[in-house]
Structure 1
Amino acid sequence: MNFKKWTMLTALAVAQVAAVAPVGAEAASTTVQSTDSVSAQQAQANVADSGVQNSIGDQDGTSTQTDTVTPNNTGVSNDPLTGLPTDTTNGSNVSNDVYGGDGTITNPGGAPTSMGANQLILYLNSAKMEQNGQVYTATQPMTVKDGVSYVAIRSLVSRVGLQFSYDTATKETVITQGTNVMRFKTDSKVYTVNGEARQMKGPAFQQKNVFMVPLTSITQALNIPYTVNNTTKQVIMDLNQKPKASFTVQQKDIYAGETQVTYLTKESSPTGLPIVNQRWEGKQDVFQEPGTYVVTYSVLDSAGNWSDPYSVTITVRPPNQPPVALFTTDK
């Protein structure tokens, strides 16, 4: 009886073990599938968050990785200079196929801009500068801070034709171009142009002992036009600023064959370059015939830039004849 009872108990225990085993296996399988699903979702999330897509495996059997960086919206604002979205956190929201990780240009990322005469090309987030076919390196890269594009002012001095000095009495950085004088102070948004206070989009600051100012403060003060190439991330400054020419005629009334005409000229260069030549059209010291004449004046600066022609219309009166006394009589 005891043996029979023991046999039945043993059979019952075996049956219970057999019944439990499939449930445990299914649970383990479910756990593994859940882990794989979470890993796959997390991997997709990681790729989406970082904006990096990796392609591994080439036709030749080698394994390579190609990274294309796409910026997310974190810390992004529009740069007032260019209107381009800019990562204000670290300023590195550019694709790796355009900029290297160290801020240098590794691939233009598009057709290079053709260099015009006397253009200065700056690269966003890079220290590279180009002018008249020559490549220069700024002391600090063109930097974006709080949505404002900053440049190392001293690096622009020789490129734009500026003079750089420091006023120890007022603790101001002084930039001079011809008759134009700009004064900047560290950590201040206010600068002066020929004594007139103006507001900058951001304060000047020191970066690794390099004085940085908003680029627009220079372009606006000196009336330097610029364009932006969104493909190549270039800011192209046109330094070919024409001189200006004008004149007046001193005499109010001009008589043909009589009046010696005096021309009072005025010329200037926005970049402070000397005027080396002038050109007249229709100019006469004495107009021999009465009528209407157009006189045009132009000047040339030392960089080879001609001004736009300036014209004045002169009216020449008939000669001023002396009076003649006449009378008649019937005798």
Structure 2
Amino acid sequence: MALITISGYPCSGKTRRAHQIKAALERRLEDPSYAGPQLKVVIVSDDTLNISRDAYKDSRSEKPARGALFTAMQRAMGQDTILIVDAMNYIKGFRYQMYCAAREQRLRVCTVYVVATQDLVKEWNISRTDGKPYVQETLDNLLMRFEEPSSMVRWDSPLITVPWLDEDIPADDIWKAVTEGNVKPPNAGTQAVPKAPTDALRALEATTTAMVAAIMAEQAASGGLGGPVTLSLPDDVKTSVALPARSITLSELQRTKRQFVAVNKKAITLGTTEKGALDWSEGSIAQKFAAYIEENIRP
């Protein structure tokens, strides 16, 4: 349904805002006047994943921490869920990655920027009562590296800013963003590439080898008259191919087979070059190879 990305300095009050947003959305979803789909509001955060504040002290520990957050976010996404990601999300590249994941799932997106001054967050970090303060050196480093969200870029838009002085969140704006905002379809950069089945290489090699043998047998029986012929392959697969009116040598067929296998092997190992046009079944491979032979064997 929607992804709400919380962004802001460490100790700026993001978790309090996330729970305010959750409560406000749930009130509206439970209101008798609400006639939309049944939705749940879920928060994913470092705390829900038991990620320590010490994970942000260096890049070696921070990278797997962000990976765990991203994986949990992907698992929680759904058309029946308004997902709130309560974390610093201070790297614009990471926010873009989250935006791409949301587009792939066809979710609405919204960024809530929790604003507080650096002096305030340092003061609030010292006065934390939950026993989870940041080490001062880590906090200073995070403040220096923070990349502020911008409404000028698509992955931070729509951007809703919540200053530390405000007692409540702009619930109307957030509700409108997650229920009425545009749903952008996946593009080439965000769409998952179709993958070939695990036995595609075996099917490709076995089917093309069987077709070469069947063509040689057909030529031996007909004396190389050529024309349209129907080849019977293993597993009751049949395909038609138009042969030239001459005897095709085994070396010609083997060379053509190697070229065809090389082109399609690359498609299998890299995902696909045809966006699913070849379904990798024996029948489809046979038809493709027959067309390839007709195009590449000289008359």
Higher relative contact order (CA 8 A, sep 6+): 2
TM-score, reference length from structure 1: 0.23
Higher fraction of helix? 2
Q: Higher strand share goes to which structure?
A: 1
Q: TM-score, normalised by structure 2?
A: 0.25
